[in-house]
């Protein structure tokens, strides 16, 4: 199942297998389908639509948004969609 998250009042969808973040559920589902069937590899056509990635740091999850190399070290905490 893809995971719905809310960050800064915006809704995002996450592939729970590879942790890539998408703007719509359809693309996240596509990614998860691909990840399920092709462990360890990613579909370029799908992952190119990702806007970020979930990163685990000391038991907490963060979104790392793809915003160019200058901000590649920025990690943003997000809250889940249910609370």
For binding to Zn ion (CB under 5 A), which residues are involved? 15, 17-18, 31, 35
Q: How far is the CB of 32 from Zn ion (least distance, A)?
A: 5
| Closer residue to Zn ion in complex, CB, 49/83 | 49
| Closer residue to Zn ion in complex, CB, 32/70 | 32
| Closer residue to Zn ion in complex, CB, 35/54 | 35
Q: How far is the CB of 70 from Zn ion (least distance, A)?
A: 26
Q: What is the 3-state secondary structure (H, E, C) of 9-69?
A: CEEEEECCCCCEEECCHHHHHHHHHHHHHCCCCCCHHHHCCCCEEEEEECCEEEEEECCCH
Q: In what order do the strands lie in the sheet with 76-77?
A: 76-77, 60-65, 52-57, 20-22, 10-14, 3-7, 79-80
Q: How far is the CB of 66 from Zn ion (least distance, A)?
A: 15
């Amino acid at each position: 199942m893809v995971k719905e998250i809310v960050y800064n009042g915006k809704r995002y969808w996450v592939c729970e297998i590879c942790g890539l973040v998408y703007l719509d559920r359809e693309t996240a589902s596509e990614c998860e389908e691909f990840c399920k069937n092709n462990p360890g590899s990613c579909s370029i056509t799908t992952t190119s639509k990702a806007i970020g990635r979930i990163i685990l740091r000391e038991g907490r999850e963060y979104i790392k948004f793809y915003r160019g190399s200058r901000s590649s070290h920025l990690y943003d905490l997000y809250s889940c969609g249910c609370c």
